[in-house]
């Protein structure tokens, strides 16, 4: 494997790897036909072996890339964007602020996803050690899987459907709508970019327009990063977004990039506006899609 990797990285030609096989300029006239045939056959076999190792290394390299955690600062407040800027410039400032945080939170999720895939593969061959078992149980609890058993392959697969990223374009578009590009009172007072709610008075603030008799609060977060983390967890666990996760799973199984627009269609239950809300998200995504190139 190392030998093949060196070849790929240094872009050494086949001629340098197998000169005696691929680039013989002359063949001794006395060599019988079957010898020539065997040489050619051997060459073909070596090409196939080379390709097989190359594909394996590409997949492995891709996984290494996906497990890289992108760390950013913990932001304790949403910046006060300059009043001297135009509306469009303020939007750009908000996008520049939030994108690295979304990328960071998604990178943690992808890191866990790859680890889970590796553990599922390992479980098929040998028993897991206590450290990995504890890790699985902790992740199952975080992603709200009750009565989870690490020895049940179906439950491991189901956990995998929950440990996955949300397209950056969709995340930023919802944040833009729910927080008015970071200028809403909830964004300023509670670091809440997604209108997330809680039933705990100690973890939230009372919204000004809360209906009489309602007991919910707008969730308050210590950091903006935490707001994004909780939003991602909500989409990855709540029963209202089961179909969103199912569609995402189908993209994974067919090895296609996740279509943010198709996932957004499953957000009708995020707001009482239903389909009208989904159309708002889609319009916002369309507005910013040229700024995002995703392959997740």
Q: What is the chain's pLDDT, residue by residue, as a tens digit (296 residues)?
A: 333 322 233 333 333 333 333 333 333 444 445 444 444 444 443 344 333 333 333 333 344 445 688 899 999 999 987 677 888 899 999 999 999 999 999 999 999 999 999 999 988 888 899 999 999 999 999 999 999 999 999 999 999 999 999 999 999 999 999 999 999 999 999 999 999 988 777 787 877 777 776 778 889 999 999 999 999 999 999 999 999 999 999 999 999 999 999 999 999 999 999 999 999 999 999 999 987 665 45
Q: What is the rounded CA–CA span in Å between residue 196 and residue 101?
A: 17
Q: What is the rounded CA–CA span in Å between residue 93 and residue 88?
A: 9
Q: What is the rounded CA–CA span in Å between residue 97 and residue 103?
A: 11
Using an 8 Å Cβ cutoff, are 101 and 73 in contact?
no
**Longest Cα pair distance anywhere in the chain, in angstroms?**
100
Please provide the size of the chain in residues.
Answer: 296
Dihedral sign for Cα atoms in the order 53, 54, 60, 64 = positive
- The pLDDT of residue 232 is 98
Burial of residue 78 (number of CB atoms within 10 Å: 0-12, 13-18, 19+): buried
Q: Locate tokens 């666990």: which residue?
A: 237
CATH fold label, 87-291: Lysozyme (1.10.530)
Q: Which residues face 217 on adjacent strands?
A: 198
Using an 8 Å Cβ cutoff, are 202 and 196 in contact?
no
The whole-model pTM stands at 0.75
> How far from chain centre, in Å, is Cα 9?
27
- The pLDDT of residue 293 is 60
Residues 39, 41, 47: CA angle, nearest 5 degrees: 105
């Amino acid at each position: 494997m190392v030998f093949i990797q060196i070849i790929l990285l240094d872009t050494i030609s086949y001629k340098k790897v197998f000169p005696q096989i691929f680039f013989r300029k002359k063949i001794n006239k006395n060599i019988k036909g079957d010898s020539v045939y065997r040489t050619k056959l051997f060459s073909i076999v070596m090409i196939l072996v080379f390709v097989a190792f190359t594909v394996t290394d590409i997949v492995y390299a891709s996984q290494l890339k996906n497990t890289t955690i992108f760390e950013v600062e913990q932001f304790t407040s949403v910046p006060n964007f300059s009043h001297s800027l135009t509306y469009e410039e303020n939007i750009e400032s908000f996008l520049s602020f939030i994108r690295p945080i979304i990328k960071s939170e998604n990178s943690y999720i992808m890191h866990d996803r790859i680890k889970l895939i590796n553990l599922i593969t390992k479980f098929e061959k040998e028993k897991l050690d206590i450290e990995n078992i504890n890790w699985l149980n902790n992740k199952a609890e975080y992603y709200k899987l009750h009565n989870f058993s690490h020895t049940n392959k179906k439950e491991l697969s189901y956990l995998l459907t929950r440990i996955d990223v949300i397209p950056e374009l969709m995340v930023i578009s919802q944040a833009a709508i729910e927080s008015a590009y970071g200028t809403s009172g909830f964004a300023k007072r509670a670091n809440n970019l997604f209108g997330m709610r809680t039933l705990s008075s100690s973890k939230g603030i009372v919204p000004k327009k809360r209906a009489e008799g309602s007991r919910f609060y707008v969730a308050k977060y210590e950091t903006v990063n935490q707001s994004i983390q909780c939003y991602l967890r909500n989409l990855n666990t709540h029963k209202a977004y089961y179909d969103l996760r199912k569609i995402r799973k189908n993209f994974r199984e067919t090895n296609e990039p996740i279509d943010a627009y198709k996932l957004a269609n499953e957000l009708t239950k995020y707001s009482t506006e239903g389909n009208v809300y989904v159309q708002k998200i889609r319009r916002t995504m369309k507005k910013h899609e040229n700024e995002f190139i995703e392959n997740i």
